[in-house]
Structure 1
Amino acid sequence: MDTVEELNGTYFYAGRKNLTAAELLFMIFCENTAVQFGIGVADFSAIIAIVSGRNNLSTRGKLANTTKGTSYASKSARAIFGKTKFPFGLSLPTWLGGYTPWTVRRVMVRNIASFVGRSIPLLGVMILASDVTQITYRTLRDYNTIARGNDKVW
């Protein structure tokens, strides 16, 4: 964080003067976003995991109600695990149908490759959700430390 001062009811932050409360919040948000995504490896891995889960590879014919195509993650998982099943007839949940909560549905699978291939994109989404949560928390924490009176969020 840079020098912070109050000038005539406005804020001075990071070399910028006469910032309103909303502009100050935006500046702190941008700074925290740059710091969070500056870490690199986890965020890059999350993006790769999400993109690898897109079902854009062509595949053999499928039944009428199935999702068309397959993903790089599923193809790689099938190459590694083959048709190996979980021991003791165990079934685990996987998610199908899309990237939004409104189009996704839960399916129970016994095949390890199906579980791994469908879980990789979900891990990517969870990592990015964690990033958004951390950015939001740090932004509000820093902003409320600097802001005065009615300008504070909570």
Structure 2
Amino acid sequence: MSNTYTYGIHQQLQPQELLFLVFVDTAASHFGIDDVTAIGAVIAGYPMLPTRGKFAGATKGTSIASVVSRKVLPFELKHRILPTVTWKSMLQLKVLLVKNIGTFVGRTIPVVGVVMLAYDAYKISTESVRAYNELVQEEDKVF
């Protein structure tokens, strides 16, 4: 016979149902202004705006972050030393070097957003497992 649990208004929950509800509860309490910022950074870095010609193999379109940062930071270095990634180069696991500070900032914004969202996913997962393990009997714990 399997153990059953009560969580809030929910009764007779199987261990996997309880884990799901704890996960949903933890995620709901975790999301706040930081997550809106992360999602905004990812969206701002998505290449949704049309562009004129690009070289073969380049990511099609440009992002809002790129357009704004190139206008606000139109500074060039002498050499290509600033590491960046685009959506396409990320999938190919390639780092691109640029010398324009605006380009560097524009391409870095979505990376920061992705890192923030990855951290949120890690935090929610670990908090959910900890909370779940505190509620269940030894044989139903997740390690």
| Partner residue, 1:27 | 21
Q: Which runs of 4+ in 1 moved over 3 A?
A: 101-104
Shift of 1:33: 0.7
| Partner residue, 2:84 | 94
Distance 1:122 1:148 in 2: 41
Q: Percent identity?
A: 38
Which of 108, 112, 119 is the aligned partner of 1:130?
119
The answer on whether the counterparts of 1:56 and 1:69 sit within 8 Å (CA) in structure 2 is yes
Distance 1:90 1:70 in 2: 20
The answer on whether the counterparts of 1:95 and 1:106 sit within 8 Å (CA) in structure 2 is yes
Distance 1:132 1:44 in 2: 14
Letter of the 2:14 partner, please give it: T
The one-character-per-residue Cα deviations of 1:108-153 (angstroms, maximum 9, x if unpaired) are 1121111100000111111111110110010010111111121101
Distance 1:43 1:117 in 2: 19
Could you tell me which runs of 5 or more consecutive residues in structure 2 were left unpaired when the two chains were aligned: none
| Partner residue, 2:63 | 71
Distance 1:125 1:68 in 2: 20
Letter of the 2:28 partner, please give it: A
| Partner residue, 1:4 | none
When structure 1 is superposed on structure 2, of 101-110 and 121-130 the one drifting more is 101-110
- Matched residue count: 142
Cα–Cα, structure 1 residues 132 and 115, in superposed 2: closer, same or farther, change >3 Å? same
Give the superposed CA RMSD: 1.9
Q: Trace 1:1-154 onto structure 2 (pairs within 5 A).
A: 9-37=3-31, 39=32, 41-82=33-74, 84-86=75-77, 89=79, 91-98=81-88, 102-154=91-143
Shift of 1:75: 0.2
Q: Secondary structure at the match of 1:73?
A: helix
Distance 2:119 2:112 in 1: 10
